[in-house]
Amino acid sequence: MSRAHLWLRAEQRENETRTGLTPKGAARLLAAGIRISVEHGPTRVIADADYAAAGCTMVPTHSWPEAPGDAIIFGLKELPDDGTPLRHRHIMFGHAFKGQPAGLRLLQRFATGGGTLLDLEYLTDDEDRRLAAFGYWAGYAGAAVALTCWAAQQRGSIAGPVTSQASSTHLLAELQSDLLSTGSHRPTALIIGALGRVGTGVTDLCTAMGVGCTKWDMTETASGGPFPEVLSHDLFFNCVLARPGTPVFVPADTPTHPRRLTVIADIACDPDSDFSPIKLYDSATSWEQPALRVHDAPPLDVTAIDNLPSLLPLESSEDFAEQLLPVLHSLPEPDAAVWNRAEALFRDHLGRLQENMRK
């Protein structure tokens, strides 16, 4: 068994303070014989000193391009889209396998540099179930943002910037105050994908805020649509990942139909995928402008922030890191099925890209 070298990079995206490895988890990996280098992370929610105390080797911020060739570079969100070749193995959310333009550029960088993408979204067990996900906290935070958008509408405005919170308790207190400013009325919500991690997070936040929820999953959407029920709720939450065969829940002409619907929260957030079930927008919204108004009277806002768990960075990091830790433990094992599946998926998509380029 070779000695794996895991290199935890500092995130380079704005408003991204999460991590996929805690000092407690790092200590367990070190004890198992895995080398760990941690880049100094000035914005990481967990202090550098805690990683150093756990025994990690601290290295300069954003130094991963110069890491030894056998180092496995581990981060969460995307790398700078600068076109440079990628020569290492990278563990991250690549968003590169659904035909997204940015994803195709990322695959080309791996092709040029000879590296490998081991996508966190596709680390699965033998029954194709994901082994680690931020889904619950994406749903929880996404529901809070959607209610913030709804509250702003009640005041005749549009939602302003959102910020991270120290804990879910702080988030609930701030949101409760915001809703109270609109009076005693509460909206209704339809959640598609309610039985999954994301849908559970949405349901828990909505329940805490007194929002009545209609919960749908595969049975209720098996017909393939149309789904007029979406229009009869104030809020609609999409918690279903875009993939071939995903029904269209919100067609492009939705704003012109009679509707109660005023806020669409696309928690899954794959706007530039051909398989997106929400056909009203084509790019994610931001922390600075969380709501995209797609119709004025009556208002209809879409909110689709693609790093929602960062609104609760500590809780979401600790939860995800605990889920992922057993998978990281298997990195040194050459026959670890989870990593072999992830690499095979990458090779398949890379081959398709290269074949299309030859045509």
Per-residue pLDDT of the chain (359 residues; tens, 9 = 90+): 458 999 999 999 999 999 999 999 999 999 999 999 999 999 999 999 999 999 999 999 999 999 999 999 999 999 999 999 999 999 999 989 887 788 899 999 999 999 999 999 999 999 999 999 999 999 999 999 999 999 999 999 999 999 999 999 999 999 999 999 999 999 999 999 999 999 999 999 999 999 999 999 999 999 999 999 999 999 999 999 888 899 999 999 999 999 999 999 999 998 988 899 999 999 999 999 999 999 999 999 999 999 999 999 999 999 999 999 999 999 999 899 999 999 999 999 999 888 877 76
Give residue 272's pLDDT.
Answer: 84
- Residue 62 known to be catalytic: no
DSSP bridge partners of 266: 238
Q: Which domains does the chain have, with CATH numbers?
A: 5-122+314-358 (3.40.50.720), 135-311 (3.40.50.720)
Catalytic residue among 88, 90, 95, 98: 95
Give residue 1's pLDDT.
Answer: 43
- Residue 359 known to be catalytic: no
Which tokens is 48 given?
Answer: 């550098």
CA–CA separation, 125 vs 283, rounded Å?
31
Give residue 274's pLDDT.
Answer: 87
Q: How far is CA 20 from CA 75, 116, 139, 234, 305, in A?
A: 7, 19, 18, 35, 19
Catalytic residue among 5, 77, 88, 215: 77
CA–CA separation, 216 vs 228, rounded Å?
13
